[in-house]
Amino acid sequence: MTQHFHLIKTDTATAARRGRLQTLHGVVETPIFMPVGTQGTVKALTPTQIRETGAQIILGNTYHLNLRPGSELIRELGGLHKFMGWDGPILTDSGGFQVFSLAKLRDIRDDGIAFASHLDGTKLFLGPREVMTIQSNLGSDIAMVIDECPPWPCSREECRRAVDRSYRWAQECKQLATDNGFLGGGHHVFAIAQGSTFDDLRREAAESLTALDFPGYAVGGVSVGEPEPEMLKQVAATTPFLPADKPRYTMGLGTPPQILKMIALGVDMFDCVHPTRVARNGAAFTPDGLINLRNERYRADPLPLVEAFDNYTCRNFSRAYLRHLVMANEILACTLLTLHNVHFYLNLVAQARAHIEAGDFATWSRAWIERYEAGERAASGASFAG
């Protein structure tokens, strides 16, 4: 057991865990979902509204914030917390995912990644030193190492290079963080285990990074286009070889059922743009699946999105009103639906924590997933803009 992470209870029927993570800006109860604030904002919400959703920790992005407005400016103005008016914990992604998503604009080298800015083509380089310096400037509670995220599918040789390179960069990141005094005092650095679909490479990555004794670990390279069964298989091939007394984070996913399935595999932390993105497209999460408010069936519907759901949107507005805002392209639609969707995710992980503590997580999560997926199948004729 480590000082910053306390494992409170483990489920007897699954690998689900109930934990508590201490950071510089507060305690995080796990399992937890982290709303994504890539540009220093969770889209459409104020910090007060983010708090009202039940959020404990949010995510920012090293690559984007360094491009605009610049990490040195943010440091001069008091750090990212003060800059964006959020006083809770912040995890910052290193920019490694942009290696994957901006593949046409980058060149991977042994010492780091050379990018052409997606904004104006300006040349930018991210290596271990740059990534740790930027995240130190931001004042991140949790800083991620830089890694190489291989695409899906990829060859074993390609994956082997990515795993080896990611390990070397992780070593450098930890040493740099230690040397500049970033590690400790509530600041943490998490390593990222890659390995694509190769179980032996995932185990090797997990075990070699564990030997470096990071404060936390992430499962990287999932939800990059592979089908869900393969995604779950990759997580299952990684988590058993990560230390039980450190937090585990699966990056960039997923749907509500996927999150529950990942919790059952022993994952503690999640982030995803899904709840905010679908809100901007007029869709909302319910226990019976995602609903598209553009559908005519909601034009005169007096019910809230979810009955007895305790968020500002559900307490005050009907589906009919929300559909009106969506159809009229009113900005308020984005705020109200985002608030609901983010709260939906955070309420889900809060329920998961309670059921892990109660000892019935497996039964509860199975029933929850069955209801949600049955609702999705029933509404399969409906569509929404991705």
Instruction: Give a three-class secondary structure readout of the chain.
Output: CCCCEEEEEECCCCCCEEEEEEECCEEEEECEEECECCCCCCCCCCHHHHHHCCCCCEEEEHHHHHHCCCHHHHHHCCCHHHHHCCCCCEEEECCHHHHHHCHHHEEEECCEEEEECCCCCCEEEECHHHHHHHHHHHCCCEEECCCCCCCCCCCHHHHHHHHHHHHHHHHHHHHHHHHCCCCECCEEEEEEECCCCCHHHHHHHHHHHHCCCCCEEEECCCCCCCCHHHHHHHHHCCHHHCCCCCCEEECCECCHHHHHHHHHCCCCEEECCHHHHHHHCCEEEECCEEEECCCHHHCCCCCCCCCCCCCHHHHHCCHHHHHHHHHCCCHHHHHHHHHHHHHHHHHHHHHHHHHHHHCCHHHHHHHHHHHHHHHHHHCCCCCCCC
| pTM over 0.85, yes/no | yes
- In this prediction, residues 190-208 reach a mean pLDDT of 98
- In this prediction, residues 247-252 reach a mean pLDDT of 96
Say which amino acid occupies 218. A
The single residue listed with the structure tokens 């019935």 is 360
- In this prediction, residues 239-252 reach a mean pLDDT of 97
Say which amino acid occupies 319. R
93 an active-site residue?
yes
Q: Most distant CA pair in the chain: distance in Å? A: 62
Record the tokens describing residue 142, joined without a space. Answer: 């949790």
pLDDT of residue 311: 98
What are the structural domains, with CATH classification, of the chain?
Answer: 5-276 (3.20.20.105), 278-369 (no CATH)
Task: Spot the catalytic one: 141, 147, 268, 271.
Answer: 271
Residue 1 has pLDDT above 50, yes or no: no
Judge whether 67 and 74 are in contact, CB under 8 Å: no
- In this prediction, residues 296-304 reach a mean pLDDT of 98
Using alpha carbons, select from 290, 337, 288, 293 the residue that is nearest to residue 312. Answer: 337
Judge whether 234 and 202 are in contact, CB under 8 Å: yes
Interacting residues of 366 by C-beta distance below 8 A, sequence separation 6+:
none
Q: Which of 75-84, 93-102, 203-212, 220-229 has the lowest mean pLDDT?
A: 93-102
pLDDT of residue 73: 98
Record the tokens describing residue 130, joined without a space. Answer: 């740059």
pLDDT of residue 94: 87
Q: Which of 10-14, 21-25, 98-102, 315-319 has the lowest mean pLDDT?
A: 98-102
Residue 15 has pLDDT above 90, yes or no: yes
Using alpha carbons, select from 286, 288, 266, 287 the residue that is nearest to residue 278. Answer: 286
- In this prediction, residues 369-382 reach a mean pLDDT of 88
- In this prediction, residues 308-325 reach a mean pLDDT of 98
- In this prediction, residues 119-135 reach a mean pLDDT of 92
State percent of the chain over pLDDT 90. 87
pLDDT of residue 119: 86
3-state secondary structure 127-158: CHHHHHHHHHHHCCCEEECCCCCCCCCCCHHH
Alpha-carbon dihedral sign for residues 157, 159, 162, 163: negative
Residue 90 has pLDDT above 80, yes or no: yes
Residue 87 has pLDDT above 60, yes or no: yes
Q: Which of 51-55, 100-104, 312-316, 320-324 has the lowest mean pLDDT?
A: 100-104
Residue 258 has phi, psi (to 5 degrees) of -60, -40
Q: Which of 22-31, 211-220, 323-332, 373-382 has the lowest mean pLDDT?
A: 373-382
Task: Spot the catalytic one: 93, 141, 147, 268.
Answer: 93
Q: Which of 85-99, 147-161, 251-265, 306-320 has the lowest mean pLDDT?
A: 85-99
The single residue listed with the structure tokens 């995602």 is 290
- Radius of gyration in angstroms for the set of CA atoms belonging to the chain, rounded to a whole number: 20
